[in-house]
Amino acid sequence: MKHSYSSADESRLLRDVIRSLLLHRVWFFIGMQDVKRRYRRSFIGPLWILLNLGVYVGAIGFVYGVMFGQDLKAFLPYLMLGFVTWGLISASMVDAGTVFISAEGYIKQFSYPKQIYILRAIVSSSMNFAMGLAAVAVLQIVLGTFEFTGWLLAIPGIVLLYMALLGQTTIFSYLGVAFRDLPHALAGVLQVVFYLTPIVFPISVLKSHNLEFVYLINPIYHLIDVVRHPILTASLAPLSSYGFVFGYVLIVYCIAWYVASRLDKKVVFLL
């Protein structure tokens, strides 16, 4: 009986996932409404994203660039790309913990599959990422380092990144309902991971101290690298990074499927 119950749950979950993908107009609209609501009555609206990013990169870039003896012409785009990609990745973990909680009203009133709220969250966080990438392109044009080929070569990495984000957001969306302290715990853990990941410093710093393992076994570094490396060098990232990310995506999807199939029916009762 237990096996047949589990199989029925998984079949229903698969139907809900497919239905959610077909309802792309719904989750895209709700996601964009979240962005508009966030900047309602703001004088410059979403441009605050660019303003905050510019202040952060300008200040941190100058300090770290001088500290590590980096050429600011190359280091500023490196830092900005790392920061905007990190923001998207961390949102898929920390912010994902409140995906179903913030959608409680929708979930209890409408019969939409719950997965549309996961996709809604990705749409909302993607606004920061898109504007960040636009800022990087403008910065490269100003610095004279823009390479259109590099941006094209970054597309496979961006696709892999979003595949990983979907799995991560799914995992933490369901776990966040069952364990309300999870987002707070993740925020603390990710603060440590941020400083261990080559985002505000080049990997040469770790190499010089024989600490390559710190980033080689770090999935977040590889998720950033498959996007950042092509844009900065106009060449594909090392094949090892693509292989690492692909393997990571497979593992994350297996975990996401397991978690979702066990908790999907319980979400309404846990809210």
Cα distance from N-terminal residue to C-terminal residue, the chain: 28
Tally of residues, the chain: 271
* More confidently predicted of 135 and 155: 155
Closest by alpha carbon to 266, among 174, 202, 181, 146? 174
- The percentage of the chain sitting over the pLDDT mark of 90, rounded to a whole number, equals 31
Helix (H, G, I), strand (E, B) or coil at 43: coil
Mean pLDDT of the chain: 85
Task: Give the pair of three-digit tokens for residue 204.
Answer: 């040469």
Is residue 2 scored above 50 in pLDDT? no
Distances from the Cα of 98 to the Cαs of 4, 115, 122, 137, in angstroms? 31, 13, 13, 32
Q: Is the dihedral of CA 150, 152, 158, 160 positive or negative?
A: negative
Quick: pLDDT tens for 70-116. 677 778 889 889 989 998 998 888 888 889 998 888 888 888 888 99
**Domain chopping of the chain, boundaries:** 2-270
Quick: pLDDT tens for 221-261. 999 999 999 999 999 999 999 999 999 999 999 999 999 98
Compute the CA torsion angle 101, 267, 255, 192 (nearest 10 deg).
Answer: 30
